[in-house]
Amino acid sequence: MLVTQLTNQNPLNPASPTQLMAQTAQLTMVQSLQTMQQQMTTMSNSTAEQGAVSMIGKTVTSTDANGNQISGVVSQVSITSNGPVLTVGSQQVPYSSITGISS
């Protein structure tokens, strides 16, 4: 964006150095915020994955999309693009839908 602006600026009325520095600082801040957001998302996903794995062998309770309660022992965890999915009995249960856990 900055390069385009510099390429297309009016040579008879150039942008002030102060204005260019402010825009550069804003672009740097936006880039830093995007990087921080990506890192936070990665950390959040990692925490969910660790939590799901720690449930293997434990009894969990969940509610499915129809409002039915599912309860059983977690035998496996799969990591998908939508987050961890637990195998409870013969059913696949999203980690985010777990409502209870016991030993």
- State pLDDT tens for residues 12-54: 666 677 887 888 889 899 999 999 999 998 898 899 899 999 9
Q: Which residues pair with 87 in a beta bridge?
A: 76, 92
What is the domain count for the chain? 1
* CATH assignment at residue 56: 2.30.30
Which spans in 9-102 are helix H?
A: 17-53
pLDDT value at residue 58? 96
pLDDT value at residue 15? 66
- The phi, psi pair for 67, rounded to 5°, reads 90, 5
pLDDT value at residue 20? 77
Q: Are 60 and 69 in contact (CB under 8 A)?
A: no
pLDDT value at residue 65? 83
Q: Which residues pair with 53 in a beta bridge?
A: none
- State pLDDT tens for residues 47-98: 989 999 999 999 999 988 888 899 999 999 999 988 999 999 999 999 999 9
- The answer to whether residue 1 scores a pLDDT higher than 90 is no
Domain with 25 in it: 2-9+16-102
